[in-house]
Amino acid sequence: MIKAIIIDDEEDARESLRLTLKKFCPDVEIVQVCEGPKEGLEAIDSHSPDLVFLDVQMPHMSGFDMLEKIAMKAKEKQADKDKAAKNCKDV
């Protein structure tokens, strides 16, 4: 199963995509449907999805701004893992 999240500020778009995926993509499991960027970022953190359907134009934060935040957070997590691994080697 492919874990997916839908993030879109338009209810009709969210529902249309959800129904289309349900009908044509049985291997895609929608783990959460979000109506805004803040909720979407929290969902990504908690579910670690394989796939994110992301609206580009949303109020308060664009989809591209969200991608930048996601990338920065991933780099921070990797840096923390690298630091922990280095500390283990030094012991």
Per the CB < 8 A criterion, the answer to whether 9 and 55 are in contact is: yes
d(CA 37, CA 42): 9
* Domain boundaries of the chain, sorted by first residue: 2-90
How far apart CA 91 and CA 88 sit, in angstroms, is 5
pTM (2 d.p.): 0.82
Neighbours of 35 (CB within 10 A): 16
> In this predicted model, what pLDDT tens digit does every residue of 31-48 receive, in sequence order?
999 999 999 999 999 999
Tell me the pLDDT tens digit for each residue of 53-80: 999 999 889 999 999 999 998 888 888 7
Residues 6+ apart with CB under 8 A from 28: 1, 2, 4, 21, 51
To the question of domain 2-90 being in CATH 3.40.190.10, the answer is: no
